């Protein structure tokens, strides 16, 4: 074949309609493959039908833009559509790397947060990941612009039919989906099912759980009431706060990405918290304390409102700032407290300003409110040391009693962060990301401890309770941690340390099992405040509660697990890295569920956090059924409580 003939045929191929279609298919394939690079060894994080649906949906979207957009702006719209797809797939992969769960489609509610998250996340990508997940798709996207393709009506109809089949499989078959799978679907799907279809897991199941709260929250709680079968309300015997009772200030420090695993006072060696190690000798330290979710806003909801966060999807703060909950700041405000909230970033992120202001927080201080930063920013905003200096200036002049929440920020891990304390941080064994993470923890320890020391050395120490708590973990581990069960424990176990006057806080370690939903009722017990509330947690000071009724539920995307005493449930999907058997629901008596086994229940002896443990299988079928149902009921109750705004505050009985 001569050169001219070869070039002629090559041009023919390059100008052909099918080659243009292949370029588009390659673009979509790289988006899918690039996203899944971040999923590690997992090869089936979503089902094959879901992957096919995603491919078809993106191809159809590109085809619609090409076919129906005006000629003058066709290429601009096509390029913009492609960039949005690239960014969404990148966001999904990076989100999974840190939280081990997949971003849902309704993440687009957070479009105004994308640039912050995207710029931060891109610094965490390796060279090969950057090429496969970003550069190659963008190059293919540019190639798409040079050669338009006309999709035949028959091909268009086939794509549309495949998409309809995929979404029918994903949405309209709730009888074949578990509670956890249902909770992972977008908000609008729930509303469609609730208001129109009413199939599978609808209003009747929610009301069944709510009408008998003990089925979902089987604890020794007095006073659970149903409010017109719409929600749940806890109303103690009295709502009166004694006027002559001493009122203590409360400073609640929510520490970004602080895990128990790296804390020396909880057994870490080397310790990345040397200053807290010294301070906690005079603190009450809960050694079996867990985060309920995987983001700061979810930790805030659990801690301030004592309700389990929505398992997956955009945070409640963002989509439902008017959620009908009685919060800790609201209760303290009713008891004469001034309520303040501090952050080195903007309070508009995740719609926090609106949610907090509607749930009892009177004064909000953030990067826009503080004086202009005099020191270099770290990560997303004002560095923690400078932020705490500003917080201290405010609290020294604050009206007492006050409740002040301070959220740290500098430990948002990024490769390009230079921590001032990096040179003295102990050497850790792991990836560059893990080393940077431990440097961030060390800096957080330095900043938080300096602030706590300022408070303890001031006149505020006589009547102030200080709480320091981790907000969530990251799916980031040292190189010698390979065990899936230990990884889950590291991910969710967080520190809870409390300092205060001797008459109410007794320093020392405490083995009571608890989680973030238990913080608000515990604090009210310390303050001796009784107030009607919508709390789902239980005070850690309730010594009358049997150990079999104390439990924690951790929500990792659509996967929920439970710990009761030394018994742990581990989702089989987390152990086998495969999708677990589905749960079938039947419209039987009171919508009861009939479950295929989806958990391994193990009794753990030893130190699971440090990897020095042995396990024994739980063979008691009744206990396993009770624990399994408890997890599903809590997830379902929380999901529908959030989506339908069904938590009633005060009012009609």
Whichever domain contains 442, its CATH number is 3.40.720.10
Same domain, 98 and 47: yes
Domain membership flag for residue 532: no
Share the mean pLDDT of the chain.
79
Measure the CA–CA gap between 293 and 291, rounded to whole angstroms.
6
- pLDDT band of residue 209 (cuts 50, 70, 90) is low
Higher pLDDT, 578 or 63: 63
- pLDDT at residue 123 in the model: 61
Domain membership flag for residue 528: no
Element (H, E) at 490: helix 484-492
- pLDDT band of residue 321 (cuts 50, 70, 90) is confident
- pLDDT band of residue 44 (cuts 50, 70, 90) is very low
- pLDDT at residue 576 in the model: 38
- pLDDT at residue 558 in the model: 65
Same domain, 495 and 618: no
Domain membership flag for residue 183: no
Higher pLDDT, 149 or 420: 420
- pLDDT at residue 629 in the model: 75
Same domain, 563 and 491: no
Preceding omega of 310 cis (within 30 degrees of 0)? no
Same domain, 408 and 431: yes
Say if residue 115's pLDDT is above 90.
Answer: no
Indicate the burial class of 194 (C-beta count within 10 angstroms; 0-12, 13-18, 19 or more). Answer: middle
Domain membership flag for residue 533: no
Higher pLDDT, 63 or 383: 383
pLDDT tens digits along 558-595 = 678 889 999 998 765 444 333 333 233 233 333 333 33
Contact indicator for 550, 511 with CB cutoff of 8 Å: no
- pLDDT at residue 208 in the model: 55
- pLDDT at residue 252 in the model: 98
- Return the top range by mean pLDDT from 142-156, 172-186, 350-364: 350-364
Report in angstroms the alpha-carbon separations of 410 from 8, 546, 618: 59, 40, 42
Same domain, 253 and 220: no
- pLDDT band of residue 107 (cuts 50, 70, 90) is low
pLDDT tens digits along 455-486 = 999 999 999 999 999 999 988 899 989 888 99
- pLDDT at residue 216 in the model: 46
CA-based max dimension of the chain: 101
Domain membership flag for residue 463: yes
What is the percent of the chain with per-residue pLDDT over 70, rounded to a whole number? 72
Look at residue 512 and give its three-state secondary structure: strand
- pLDDT band of residue 191 (cuts 50, 70, 90) is very low
Same domain, 229 and 253: no
Token output for 651: 């009012």
Same domain, 222 and 288: no
Residue 304's domain spans which residues? 247-522
Measure the CA–CA gap between 352 and 552, rounded to whole angstroms.
26
DSSP 11-37: HHHHTSHHHHHHHHHHHHHHHHHHHHH
Domain membership flag for residue 607: yes
**How many angstroms from the chain centroid is the CA of residue 632?**
18
Token output for 316: 């409640």
Measure the CA–CA gap between 21 and 60, rounded to whole angstroms.
11
Token output for 419: 């921590």
- pLDDT band of residue 640 (cuts 50, 70, 90) is low
Nearest to 214 by CA among 228, 199, 206, 224: 224
- Three-state secondary structure along 403-444? EEEEECCCCCCCCCCCCCCHHHCCCCCCCHHHHHHHHHHHHH
- Return the top range by mean pLDDT from 53-62, 95-104, 310-319, 431-440: 431-440
Report in angstroms the alpha-carbon separations of 592 from 199, 210, 488: 14, 14, 29
Nearest to 179 by CA among 630, 647, 552: 630
- pLDDT at residue 41 in the model: 53
Contact indicator for 377, 383 with CB cutoff of 8 Å: yes
Measure the CA–CA gap between 399 and 461, rounded to whole angstroms.
15
Say if residue 520's pLDDT is above 90.
Answer: yes
- pLDDT band of residue 628 (cuts 50, 70, 90) is confident
Residue 369's contacts (CB-CB under 8 Å, 6 or more residues apart) are none
Same domain, 56 and 132: yes
- pLDDT at residue 98 in the model: 72
Domain membership flag for residue 142: yes
Look at residue 220 and give its three-state secondary structure: coil
pLDDT tens digits along 418-451 = 899 999 999 998 888 899 999 999 999 999 999 9
* Structural domain total, the chain: 3
Preceding omega of 488 cis (within 30 degrees of 0)? no
Same domain, 278 and 228: no
Pairing verdict, β 496-499 and 284-290 = antiparallel
- pLDDT at residue 174 in the model: 40
Alpha helix positions (H), 291-431: 296-305, 316-319, 328-334, 352-357, 384-396
Same domain, 373 and 303: yes
Say if residue 337's pLDDT is above 70.
Answer: yes
Mean pLDDT over 29-48 rounds to: 69
- pLDDT at residue 409 in the model: 92
Neighbours of 322 (CB within 10 A): 10
Token output for 57: 């949906």
Token output for 219: 């604890």
Residue 290's contacts (CB-CB under 8 Å, 6 or more residues apart) are 492, 493, 494, 514, 515, 516, 552, 554, 563
Say if residue 223's pLDDT is above 60.
Answer: no
Token output for 91: 């966001």
Domain membership flag for residue 446: yes
Same domain, 600 and 504: no
- pLDDT at residue 580 in the model: 31
Mean pLDDT over 330-350 rounds to: 92
Q: Which residue shows structure tokens 């990345």? A: 272
Same domain, 295 and 333: yes
Angle among Cα 160, 165, 170 to the nearest 5 degrees reads 125
Q: Which residue shows structure tokens 């000798």? A: 281
């Amino acid at each position: 074949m001569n050169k001219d003939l070869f070039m002629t045929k090559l041009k023919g191929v390059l100008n052909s309609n099918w080659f243009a279609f292949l370029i588009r298919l390659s673009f979509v394939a790289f988006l899918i493959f690039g996203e899944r690079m971040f999923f590690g060894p997992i090869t089936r994080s979503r089902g094959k039908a879901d992957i096919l649906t995603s491919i078809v949906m993106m191809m159809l979207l590109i085809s619609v833009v090409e076919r129906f957009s005006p000629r003058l702006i066709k290429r601009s719209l096509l390029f913009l559509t492609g960039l949005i797809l690239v960014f969404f797939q990148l966001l999904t992969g990076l989100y999974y790397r840190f939280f081990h769960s997949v971003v849902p489609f309704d993440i687009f509610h957070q479009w105004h947060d994308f640039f912050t998250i995207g710029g931060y996340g891109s610094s965490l990508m390796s060279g090969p990941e950057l090429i496969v997940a970003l550069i190659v798709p963008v190059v293919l996207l540019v190639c798409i612009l040079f050669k338009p393709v006309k999709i035949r009506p028959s091909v268009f109809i086939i794509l549309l039919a495949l998409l309809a089949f995929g979404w029918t499989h994903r949405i309209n078959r709730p009888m074949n989906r578990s509670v956890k799978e249902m909770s992972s679907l977008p908000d609008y799907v729930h509303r469609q099912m609730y208001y129109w279809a009413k199939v599978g897991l609808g209003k009747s199941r929610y009301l069944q759980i709510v009408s008998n709260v003990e089925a979902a929250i089987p604890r020794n709680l007095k006073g659970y009431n149903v409010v017109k079968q719409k929600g749940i309300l806890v109303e103690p015997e009295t709502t009166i706060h004694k006027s002559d009772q001493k009122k203590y200030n409360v400073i609640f420090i929510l520490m970004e990405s602080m895990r128990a695993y790296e804390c020396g006072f909880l057994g870490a060696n080397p310790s990345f918290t040397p200053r807290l190690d010294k301070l906690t000798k005079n603190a009450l330290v809960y050694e079996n304390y867990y985060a309920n979710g995987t983001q700061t806003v979810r930790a805030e909801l659990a801690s301030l409102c004592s309700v389990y966060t929505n398992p997956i999807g955009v945070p409640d703060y963002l989509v439902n700032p008017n959620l009908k909950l009685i919060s800790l700041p609201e209760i303290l405000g009713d008891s004469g407290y001034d309520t303040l909230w501090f952050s080195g970033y903007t309070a508009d992120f995740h719609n926090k300003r609106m949610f907090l202001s509607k749930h009892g927080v009177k004064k909000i201080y953030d990067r826009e409110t503080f004086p202009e930063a005099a020191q270099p920013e770290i990560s997303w905003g004002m560095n923690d040391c400078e932020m705490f200096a500003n917080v201290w200036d405010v609290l020294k002049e604050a009206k007492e009693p006050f409740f002040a929440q301070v959220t740290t920020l500098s430990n948002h891990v990024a490769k390009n962060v230079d921590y001032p304390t990096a040179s003295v941080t102990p050497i850790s064994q792991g990836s560059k990301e893990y080393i940077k993470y431990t440097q961030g923890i060390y800096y957080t320890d330095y900043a938080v401890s300096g602030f706590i020391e300022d408070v303890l050395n001031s006149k505020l120490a006589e009547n102030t309770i200080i709480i320091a708590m981790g907000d969530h973990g990251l799916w980031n581990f040292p190189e010698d941690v390979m065990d899936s069960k230990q990884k889950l424990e590291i991910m969710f176990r967080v520190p809870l340390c409390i300092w205060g006057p001797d008459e109410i806080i007794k320093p020392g370690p405490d083995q009571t099992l608890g989680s973030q939903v238990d913080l608000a009722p515990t604090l009210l017990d310390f303050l001796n405040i009784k107030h009607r509330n919508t709390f789902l947690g239980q005070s850690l000071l309730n010594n009358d509660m049997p150990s079999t009724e104390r439990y924690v539920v951790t929500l990792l995307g659509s996967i929920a697990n439970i710990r009761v005493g030394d018994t742990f449930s581990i989702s089989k999907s987390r152990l086998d890295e495969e999708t677990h058997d589905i749960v079938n629901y039947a419209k039987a008596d009171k919508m009861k569920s009939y479950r295929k086994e989806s958990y391994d229940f193990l009794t753990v002896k030893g130190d699971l956090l440090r990897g020095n443990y042995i396990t024994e299988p739980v063979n008691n079928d009744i206990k396993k059924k009770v624990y399994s149902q408890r997890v599903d009921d809590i997830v379902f109750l929380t999901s529908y409580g959030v989506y339908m705004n069904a938590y009633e505050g005060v009012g009609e009985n």
